[in-house]
Amino acid sequence: MAKLYLTTPLYYVNDKPHIGHAYTTILADVIARHHRIIGNEVFFLTGTDEHGQKVQEAAAKRNVDPKKHVDEYVTRFKELWKRLNISHDDFIRTTETRHTDRVQELLNNLFERDEIYLDEYEGLYSVAEERFVTEKEVEEGDFRQIKKLKEKNYFFRMSKYQNALIQHIENHPEFIKPKSRWNEVLGFLKKPLNDLCISRPKDRLNWGIEIPFDREYVTYVWFDALLNYVTAIGWGTNKVNFAKWWPADYHLMAKDILTTHAVYWPTILMAANISLPKTIFSHGWWLMEESKMSKSLGNVINPIDLIDEYGVDPLRYYLMRDMVLGMDASFTLDRFVQRYNSDLANDFGNLVNRVTMLIRKHFDGKIPKSGDYNETDLKLIAEAKTIPHTVRKLFGDMKIHDAVENTLVLIRKINTYLEIKSPWKSIKDDNSQGGDAATTLALAADVLRIGSQLLNPIMPEKSQSILNILGASSIPLVDTSIGQLKSGVVLGEGKSPFPRIISV
């Protein structure tokens, strides 16, 4: 049995969770569920990033203590993950002592070893981004609220690790995925890397982890937050657990925070003498029209509205099916409805209804007994044997949209198979056990069972309810071999799984 440790970013607790946050978390959930089904041991971590200027300001605006503010706001994420059926093993908040204590220990340790030093720095500071920026960055990027600032701060010797990092990336093509992002980071590292300012004076910001060797400062949010990936699994406190899970197999995130993960994070780990994660996986953005969905643009879609209206699994399905991992995708309600109606209502849902109705009507609601297979049957059996391997491999390779599409290919093949064999016609002459209609319906139900198992990581609830309807709920999800749905099995109760959406 292999292990898999995967993480989502720690979302800013201040933000109201939207489709973008939901996407990364659902993606992690799908991968976690896939690995659990095939028998791997999984640790899936998510959580919230709770320090920094924006939190301090938001709390002040509401006239509440920042701790109280984050305690209230974190529930929005926790509740959404519950509604989305997210199966995380842990939820870490950067204000928990299991995290803050370790961050302070590391700061002390790095300071003692001269990996951190005090310096006076004069430069351009972006209040919105809460960090110093270079003139070039200001010219190129859209940094807001820039001001000149001269102050003493603590710096991490990030530049010292530039060459080691370049070498690591060059030697490990799997370290940053997809390939285009790997190239991008190496491109970024062609320019000299500055040391990283990791403190903020308390007179500007006090909602942060206090720098243990200088109580006039708090820690820069990014230095604090990234460390969650090791503090959550017991780095510095629980050697056994840490050794079991580290290095992380996947850090998932969108491209907006690739540099912090692919540059800051590995250099911090190098300084702390911790090995590097295996893969940093950066996906694209969900766009609304042409712009990134984000709170500041006010163009966010609230996942709760979609769940209330259409259910959780169709949303999970749409997000996984319509984004090619690594590329941007546009979110539109029209497209969501189209996808739902064509894939789920027409191809999948109608098939479930059709097969189970015929079995109920003509075979007493029990899976009929197959007779000899003809060429058409054997063709479907051959597909049902190969497609699950392809799908599992695609899941393992993080080609989630392809895994979904290939499963739908199998579902559509069952539909074509039924059209060719037309059991609704032949059954009028022969509804015997072992007859052609019986064989057709038994095989269609069995292959449909396989398709439903394969879609389980994407749509856990719907998959389970369809498996119940088919009388297949006791078959282990991992067992997608043909013939597991035996004759005589009684179909279960259940409504039509995907009623058509009539209008938006």
117: left (phi over 0), alpha (psi -120 to 50) or beta: beta
In terms of CB distance, is 218 or 443 closer to ligand MSP? Answer: 218
Residue from 11, 125, 217, 310 that binds ligand MSP (CB under 6 A)? 11
* Residue type for position 365: G
Binding status of residue 223 toward ligand MSP by CB under 6 A: no
> Which residues 246-265 are close enough to bind ligand MSP by CB under 6 A?
253-254, 256-257
Straight-line distance from the first to the last Cα atom of the chain, in angstroms, rounded to the nearest whole number: 46
- Minimum CB separation of residue 47 from ligand MSP in Å reads 9
Calpha distance 368→363 (Å, rounded): 6
Binding status of residue 351 toward ligand MSP by CB under 6 A: no
- Minimum CB separation of residue 348 from ligand MSP in Å reads 26
**Under 8 Å between Cβ of 452 and 470:** yes
Q: Which two tokens stand for residue 431?
A: 């509804």
CA distances from residue 28 to 34, 81, 294, 311, 458 in whole angstroms, order as listed: 10, 12, 20, 19, 11
In terms of CB distance, is 414 or 458 closer to ligand MSP? Answer: 458
Residue from 125, 156, 220, 286 that binds ligand MSP (CB under 6 A)? 286
Site stretch for ligand MSP (CB under 6 A), options 4-12, 132-140, 171-179, 211-219:
4-12
Residue from 4, 5, 6, 20 that binds ligand MSP (CB under 6 A)? 20
Site stretch for ligand MSP (CB under 6 A), options 12-20, 105-113, 410-418, 437-445:
12-20
- Minimum CB separation of residue 258 from ligand MSP in Å reads 8
CA atoms within 13 A on the CB side of 265: 25
Binding status of residue 23 toward ligand MSP by CB under 6 A: yes
Binding status of residue 226 toward ligand MSP by CB under 6 A: yes
Please report the DSSP string for 353-400 in residue order: HHHHHHHHHHSTTBPPPP----HHHHHHHHHHHHHHHHHHHHHHTT-H
Residue from 49, 313, 347, 402 that binds ligand MSP (CB under 6 A)? 49
Calpha distance 281→297 (Å, rounded): 25
- Minimum CB separation of residue 443 from ligand MSP in Å reads 41
Calpha distance 158→196 (Å, rounded): 6
Calpha distance 16→9 (Å, rounded): 15
In terms of CB distance, is 17 or 388 closer to ligand MSP? Answer: 17
Quick one: CA dihedral 348, 354, 357, 358, positive or negative? Answer: negative
Residue from 4, 6, 21, 126 that binds ligand MSP (CB under 6 A)? 21
What phi and psi values does residue 143 have, to the nearest 5 degrees?
Answer: -75, 140
- Minimum CB separation of residue 75 from ligand MSP in Å reads 16
In terms of CB distance, is 21 or 321 closer to ligand MSP? Answer: 21
> Which residues 176-205 are close enough to bind ligand MSP by CB under 6 A?
none
Residue whose C-beta lies closest to ligand MSP = 20
Residue from 225, 280, 337, 367 that binds ligand MSP (CB under 6 A)? 225
- Minimum CB separation of residue 491 from ligand MSP in Å reads 40
Residue from 30, 84, 262, 293 that binds ligand MSP (CB under 6 A)? 293
- Minimum CB separation of residue 283 from ligand MSP in Å reads 7
> Which residues 70-99 are close enough to bind ligand MSP by CB under 6 A?
none
Residue from 43, 154, 264, 285 that binds ligand MSP (CB under 6 A)? 285
Nearest to 318 by CA among 210, 459, 147, 156: 459
Q: Work out whether strand 146-156 and strand 116-126 pair parallel, antiparallel, or are unpaired.
A: antiparallel
In terms of CB distance, is 217 or 220 closer to ligand MSP? Answer: 220
Calpha distance 469→448 (Å, rounded): 11
Q: Which two tokens stand for residue 388?
A: 């699950």
Nearest to 358 by CA among 462, 439, 253: 439
What phi and psi values does residue 319 have, to the nearest 5 degrees?
Answer: -65, -40
Residues that bind ligand MSP (CB under 6 A): 9-12, 15, 20-21, 23-24, 49, 225-226, 228, 253-254, 256-257, 285-286, 292-293
